[in-house]
Amino acid sequence: MPCLTTPEETGRTPAPHADAPKEAWDRWSKDGQRYAPWHYDKSAMVTIGHKLSIPPPELKEEMHQLPRGYTDKGASPIKRAKMLGNGWHVGCARAVIFMTLLSANMEQAKSIPQNPHPFGGSKIEIMVNRWRHAGTDWGPAPSSDKRLIPETSDLAWHFQHAMKIVPPTMKQVELDPMVAWTYDQLQVMGATILTWREKASRKSRKSPNNTLNKRWSGGDSGSRMCRRLIATLTRTRSLRSLSC
């Protein structure tokens, strides 16, 4: 879609460099030449009631990340289109303001002890944050002792209930949540998992004094998490790593 521009109610002269298909020029002429000719290209228009049309104000509001009806304060569609054409895309405006505020504080900036990346500074930290965000328990799920049919000495009763249940082989297999999460990560990461495994191994062996190895050698729950996470990243057989 082209950038939103203001319409000209009395029509406008096309720019010397204007380039558009013949059909677009025809639509431009029939619409009173309100916008530049390329706004009437089929790829820049929407279908409303089986008819090609310039995007209405409501759609332009959504394109600018504004609430639907934001400019609908009694103004005509032309006035609303002008307001939107003179406005900023909310996401872009937010980014500009953020960068302006950030640059204004550059002189007061100080070094921080860890990587400012919101997902972590290393592959292991990124995977830890992914796992925490997923909210999945680490390790095997609690075993279930639930029987399909309660114990009974009544063979007829047992047979009657056995004919009603769905055989386990006909049910969808319920993977351990941690195993399912691991395979989801493998599917998302694809071949890059090989690089991540190598970097995770290098990170865990890099220095005996770093924080990671302190957690590795510790006895708290955090150390178990680190050990299993590194195992998941570094072992080819991820399922076996989950049992450690």
Q: What is the pLDDT of residues 180-195, one digit of tens each?
A: 888 888 888 888 888 8
Residue 59 is encoded by which pair of tokens?
Answer: 């759609």
Q: Does residue 31 have a pLDDT over 80? A: yes
Q: What is the pLDDT of residues 47-87, one digit of tens each?
A: 988 889 999 999 999 999 888 888 988 889 999 999 999 98
Q: Is residue 237 part of a domain?
A: yes
Q: Does residue 218 have a pLDDT over 50? A: no
Helix (H/G/I), strand (E/B), else coil: 47: strand
Q: Does residue 236 have a pLDDT over 60? A: no
Q: Is residue 77 part of a domain?
A: no
User: Which residues neighbour 226 within 8 Å (Cβ) at sequence distance 6 or greater?
Assistant: 124, 212, 215, 216
Q: Does residue 220 have a pLDDT over 50? A: no
Give the span between the Cα atoms of 229 and 131, in whole angstroms: 9
Q: Is residue 78 part of a domain?
A: no
Q: Is residue 194 part of a domain?
A: yes
- Whether the CB-CB separation of 89 and 64 falls below 8 Å is answered with yes
Q: What is the pLDDT of residues 93-144, one digit of tens each?
A: 889 988 888 777 655 555 555 555 566 667 777 777 777 778 877 666 666 6
Q: Is residue 145 part of a domain?
A: no
| pLDDT recorded at residue 2 | 82
| pLDDT recorded at residue 144 | 64
Q: Does residue 216 have a pLDDT over 50? A: no
- Whether the CB-CB separation of 234 and 205 falls below 8 Å is answered with no
Residue 168 is encoded by which pair of tokens?
Answer: 């386990």
Nearest to 29 by CA among 78, 4, 50, 20: 20
53: enclosing H helix or E strand: strand 51-53
Average pLDDT of span 143-160: 78
| pLDDT recorded at residue 110 | 58
| pLDDT recorded at residue 243 | 37
Mean pLDDT estimate for the chain: 76
Q: Is residue 55 part of a domain?
A: no
More confident residue, 230 or 139: 139
Q: Is residue 193 part of a domain?
A: yes
pLDDT band of 203, cuts 50, 70, 90: confident
Quote the domain boundaries for residue 133: 123-140+151-241
| pLDDT recorded at residue 122 | 74
- Whether the CB-CB separation of 228 and 204 falls below 8 Å is answered with no
How many structural domains does the chain have? 1
Backbone angles phi, psi at 3, to 5 degrees: -60, 145
37: enclosing H helix or E strand: none
> Which pTM was predicted?
0.40
Give the span between the Cα atoms of 27 and 35, in whole angstroms: 11
